[in-house]
């Protein structure tokens, strides 16, 4: 299963409505494409970029996501990847970017769902 599908499942389980491959125009006329657009119960929007790279995602990607989200007026962005460089973690903590590894997502999706008790 592709990472975008895993991420979509993860965010749906966390109560978000999902749109895929959404292109938005920023204040300065630049178009940005987000792999997922998350809408929470309050109507707040967050953009998600997913990088299916085998190498670690560097700070340049986090900075571009941060600027894109800010330019189009989205809330706290999310970056999903297999691995992140150490500088990404530092930048993300300062700027409020949520970082999720594929392993983080899989660990949540693998949890057993508690079955409701059967009534006689």
Where in the chain are the domains? 3-105
The whole-angstrom separation of Cα 81 and Cα 74 is 20
What tokens were used for 99?
A: 């970082």
Which one-letter DSSP state was computed for residue 116?
P
Provide the whole-model pTM: 0.89
Q: Report the helix count and the strand count for the chain, using DSSP H and E.
A: 4, 5
What tokens were used for 73?
A: 């007026």
Please give the class, per CATH, of domain 3-105. alpha beta
Q: Around Cβ 48, how many Cβ atoms within 10 Å? A: 26
In order along its 120 residues, the chain shows pLDDT tens digits of: 799 999 999 999 999 999 999 999 999 899 999 999 999 999 999 999 999 998 999 999 999 999 999 999 999 999 999 999 999 999 999 999 999 999 999 998 988 765 444 444
The whole-angstrom separation of Cα 81 and Cα 52 is 6
């Amino acid at each position: 299963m592709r990472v975008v599908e895993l991420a979509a499942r993860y965010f749906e389980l966390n109560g978000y409505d999902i749109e895929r491959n959404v292109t938005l125009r920023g204040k300065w006329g630049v178009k940005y494409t987000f792999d997922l657009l998350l809408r929470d119960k309050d109507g707040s929007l967050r953009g998600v970029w997913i990088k299916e790279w085998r190498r670690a995602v560097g700070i340049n990607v986090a900075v571009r996501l941060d600027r894109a989200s800010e330019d189009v007026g989205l809330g706290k962005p999310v970056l999903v990847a297999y691995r992140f460089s150490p500088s990404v973690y530092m930048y993300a903590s300062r700027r409020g970017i949520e970082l999720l590894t594929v392993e983080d997502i899989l660990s949540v999706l693998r949890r057993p769902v508690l079955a409701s008790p059967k009534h006689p």
